């Protein structure tokens, strides 16, 4: 006995496979629901994959690298170094007797090298007048879209060492 799904007594296969050219482009509610369900399922599985991958992938460990000796530079003095690779240029500033900060020297706009302006007490990018705060690397003015990545410094005896990069 054939399966009938509606009061018009049309067999199911006629709904699914139209025999009339005029009905070929007609999408039934069932087909549309199937499409939405499969598309949603695909997106759900994709998101699960991304989540699982991000959880299982370990964040890269940063090396520990010596940057300077304590008291090597005066207050408001600057030292340039590279971290974590020789291609990553950074700038360290001694902001007070006990405080040092370090940032990537690459401007977050178009990668020009930033320098420290002691006169204005800020990091400045000469290319498009982008200015960054010395305190936290945040953008003070200009086109840079993000703060400068900050290098985490630690004291090890009489040395300052870089141990990580935040916000890269």
Binding site for ligand FES (CB under 6 A): 107, 109-110, 112, 125, 127-128, 130, 142-144
CA-to-CA dists, residue 98 to 45, 63, 142, 149, angstroms: 51, 24, 30, 21
Residue whose CB is less far from ligand FES, 65 or 127: 127
Residue 9 region by backbone torsions, left for phi larger than 0, else alpha for psi between -120 and 50, else beta: left
CB of 144 to ligand FES, least distance (A): 5
Residue whose CB is less far from ligand FES, 30 or 128: 128
CB of 92 to ligand FES, least distance (A): 19
Cβ neighbour number for residue 73 with a 10 Å cutoff: 16
Residue whose CB is less far from ligand FES, 78 or 163: 78
CB of 141 to ligand FES, least distance (A): 9
Residue whose CB is less far from ligand FES, 5 or 128: 128
How far does Cα 122 stand from its chain's mean position? 24
CB of 137 to ligand FES, least distance (A): 13
Burial 33-45 (b: 16+ CB within 10 A, else e): eeeeeeeeeeeee
């Amino acid at each position: 006995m054939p399966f009938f799904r509606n009061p018009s007594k049309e067999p199911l296969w006629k709904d699914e496979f139209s025999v009339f050219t005029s009905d070929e482009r007609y999408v039934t509610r069932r087909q549309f629901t199937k499409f939405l369900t499969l598309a949603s399922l695909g997106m759900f599985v994709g998101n699960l994959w991304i989540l699982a991958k991000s959880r299982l992938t370990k964040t890269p460990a940063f090396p520990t690298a010596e940057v300077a000796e304590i008291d090597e530079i005066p207050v408001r003095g600057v030292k340039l170094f590279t971290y974590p690779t020789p291609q990553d240029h950074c700038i360290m500033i001694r902001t007070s007797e006990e405080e040092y900060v370090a940032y990537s020297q690459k401007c977050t706009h178009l990668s020009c090298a930033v320098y420290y302006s002691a006169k204005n007490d800020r990091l400045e990018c000469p290319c498009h007048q982008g200015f960054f705060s010395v305190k936290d690397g945040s953008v003070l003015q200009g086109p840079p879209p993000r703060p400068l990545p900050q290098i985490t410094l630690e004291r090890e005896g009489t040395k300052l060492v870089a141990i990580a990069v935040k916000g890269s």
